[in-house]
Structure 1
Amino acid sequence: MMPKTRRFRLRAKGSILASALACALIVSGGGASNAMAETGRPGEEIVLACQIEGRDRQAWVSLTETGATYRYGPSQAAPELTLSSPLADLDYVRQTGAAGTVDEIVTFANGDTDYRFATGFRNGPQPDPTALRPFGNLTVSRSGREVATLSCDPDSIERAPDRLLARMRDIGRERASDGVSFPNYDLHPRMAAAESAPCEAENNVDTCWSRGVSAARGGDLRAALDHYDMSCAARIMTSGCYEAGKLYLQNRELRDYTRARQSLTRTCEGEHPGQGPYACKYLGWMYLTGTGVERNLDLAFVELAKACFLHNDAILIDGEGCHFLGETIFEKRDGWSRDNTDYLAYIAFAQGCTDDAETVCNEARALLQRGQARTAPWVRRCDQTAGHYGAIKSCAELITTSTDFDVRQTVRRQLKLLFGQASASMDTPQ
C-alpha cells in the first residue's frame, strides 16, 4: 500500500520538494492531449503528463532519441525544474496487468535523493470496486528515508501507453531494473477488436492476446476482453481464454459467469503449466462457493485437486488453490472419518506451503499441532507413509518454505504421491 499523500509548502526553486513535484509523472490510459502538446519540445515526444493535485503546476515526461526528460512547472511557461536520465540507465520496473495492480514504477536518483513513481490503476471505490481508476504516486526519499509522497489529480493523468517501454526496447535494452525480461511481443495501439486482423502466432503468443494486453494496460478492459475472446476462439493458445475468464468472473461490468466457466475450463484443460492451475483454482472456487454455478463439492474437489497437485507433470501449482482444496475436504467430511479428512487436508495445506503461501503454511502447522496434541492416528500414519514416498522422513518436514527450487519440487512430488495414496483410501475407515 502506498503512503498517504503529504501536503507541504513549495520551497525555493531546485529544492528537494520542488524536485519531487517535478517528477510526479503518472500513468493512465489515453493518447496525446492538449496538455502534452503544450509542454512538448522540438525533437521530443511527450508520453506522460498530469496536473499536480491541488497546485497550478503540471508535470510531464518526454522522450528523446536516447533519454527521458522530466519537467515540472506552470503550463505554457518555462519549467521550474528539469531532470534527465539515459534510457539505458533508467530505473524502470514493469508489472503486467491492470486491475488492482501497479503498472509501471520509474525511479531515478539525484545525489542522495531518490524519486520513485508508482503508476497505473487501482480498483475503484464502491459501488463498483472492480472498476479501474488511474492513480499515481511519487515517493521521495533522501538517504533511504522517506521525505514526501505526492499525487496527481486522477482526472488529469494522460499517457501514451507503453511508449516508454517501446523506446527502451528500440535502443536494445532487454530487461527491467529488477532483472525481469521485457516482453517480446508487439505493443499495439488501441483498436477495436472488430477492426483488428485475424489472430496469428507471434513469439510464443498470438496477436489477439497481445492486443488485449495493450488495451488492458491502457485501462480499456472491455476492448481487452474482446481481443481475449478472439484469442480464445482462435485456439492458438489458452492465455486469451484465461484472461477472458478472469474478467468475466471478477469484473462487475463485464461479468458473465457462464462465459467465465467456459473460458476457464478451456485453460484448466489445456497444457499451459503456469496458467492452468490458476484457472482450475477459479473453477473449483466457483463450485465450492456456488458462484455462478450450482454448488457442487465433488466438482470443487476435482478442479482444486488439479490446481494443487494434478494439472501438470512439472507440478507447478496455485497455492491458494491448495487452501480451497483443504476447505473443500473439510466441507466433504460427512461420510469420511475425521482422521482421513485431517490427513488429506494437511497434505493439501502442506503443498500450498511450497508456493510461498504463508497463510496456507499456517493452516498446515495449526492442523498438525492439533493432531499432535490429541495423538491423532493420522499423524502417526503421516510419519510412517512420508518415509515410504521420498526423501522427507517425517510429517512435520513436509511443511517447507525452502527458497531452493529443487528442494521445493522434491517435496511437491512427494506430497503428490501422498495425496494420491490418501485420496484413494478416503472411503476406508481408519
Structure 2
Amino acid sequence: MTPAAVRASRQPDDIPQDAILQGEIQGMNVHSQDIASRAVGQSARSVRFVDVAKRFGSVAAVADVNLTIAPGQFVTLLGPSGCGKSTTLSMIAGLELPSQGHIYIGDRDVTTVPPADRDIAMVFQSYALYPHLTIFENIAFPLRAKRRRTTETEVTRKVTDAARMLGLDKLLARFPREISGGQRQRVALGRAMVRTPTIYLLDEPLSNLDQQLRVQMRSELKDLHQRLGATMLYVTHDQGEAMTLSDIIAVMSAGRIEQVGAPRELYDRPANLFVARFLGEPGMNILNGDIGDGRLRGQGVAIALPPTVKAGPGGLCAGIRPEDLVLCPIPEAELTGVVRTVEFLGSRCLMRADIGDTLVTAFLPAEVTTQPGETVGLKASYPGRTRWFDVASGLAVGH
C-alpha cells in the first residue's frame, strides 16, 4: 500500500488514545531545522517548578516541589513506585493540572497551557505504535496528523534523518510486528524526534525490554541526548538507568524531592537515610549503636567517630557502602559478625554477614575463600568513606 493509500484508509478509530495524550493529533510547533543541528541555547528550554503540588482528594501525590532544570540537561526523576515521579512528568506535559504552584518552560508559565501548545514530546513505557502502519509511517505520523503544510519532501527528510540517527534506516518498510522490542522503542523515540520539540519527556521507556536490550538502549539514549542537545526528563525506578544516563538526578519519596544533584554527588554524599538506602545495588549499610569513648558502639560495631561529627540528642548511625568494606583481622575490625552467604559474581563476590541484628553486605575480591558460618572482621577501606546520619531526623551529618 502506498503512503497516500495508507493515509486515505485512516479512520478516527485507528488513532490510539495515547497518541491524543501525546499531542500528536493537536498541533504542536515543529521547527524546520534538521534534527541533528539543534544546539543548547538555541532551541532547548529550561523547566522550573515553583511550589508545585498535586492532590487527588485527600492524597498528596506530589507535595511542594521546587526544581530547576537547565536547558539541555538530562534529568531523571528517580524513586520507588508511588513516589509521584510520573505525576510530576504528567504535569510538565499538561496531562495533569497542579493543585497549586506554577510550572515554567523557559520564561513561559505553562501551568494551564494545553499539552499541544507546550512544544514537548512524550515517550511512554508502552511503544504505542500503529500495527497497520509501516515503520516509516509510524515515525511520520505526527507530521501528517497535525495537518500542517508539510511537504512530502520534508516528511521524508525528517523521517530518514531520525531513522538514520536511530539505526532504523533499513527497517522503514517493515511493520512493528516484524521488528524487535528494542527497535520498536527506537521507533517510538523517532516519532518524538521528528517533531523537534524543545523538551523530551520519557516515562520509563525501557521497562518492557530485557536486561541486555536495556543496557544497549541506555547507551543509545545517552548518545542521542548528546547529539540532540535537547532538554530531557526521564522517569524511572531503576537506579542503574538513572546513574548512567543523567546529568542530574532528583530522588523522590512520598511526593517530595529528597535530594537533587549529579549521580556521583548523590551516591557519595546522600543527604539523608532514604537516599543512602535507595541508591546502590545493594544500598548503603546502616549501622546503629550508642556513642561512647569517641566511637559508635553496638553489637559487633565499633566505629571511630570523626572529630568533625557531633552527635545530636537523637544519636547517630553510620553508613558504609558495600564496596567500601574490606576484610581485616578481628582485632582491627570496625564490624564483627558471622557470614551468612557468599555469591560469586565473576569479577568479585557479594558477601552477606550478620553484624548483631543487622545484615551487612560487602563486595569482596573474587578470590576470597570466606565461607558461610565463619566469623569475620570488616572495616571501611579508609575512614573518609563512612557517612554519618542523625537518627532522629535521618539527615546527613558532617557533609
Q: Which has the higher contact order (CA 8 A, sep 6+)?
A: 2
Interval of TM-score (by shorter of Structure 1 and Structure 2): under 0.3
Between structures 1 and 2, the one with greater helix share: 1
Between structures 1 and 2, the one with greater strand share: 2
TM-score normalized with structure 2 length? 0.26
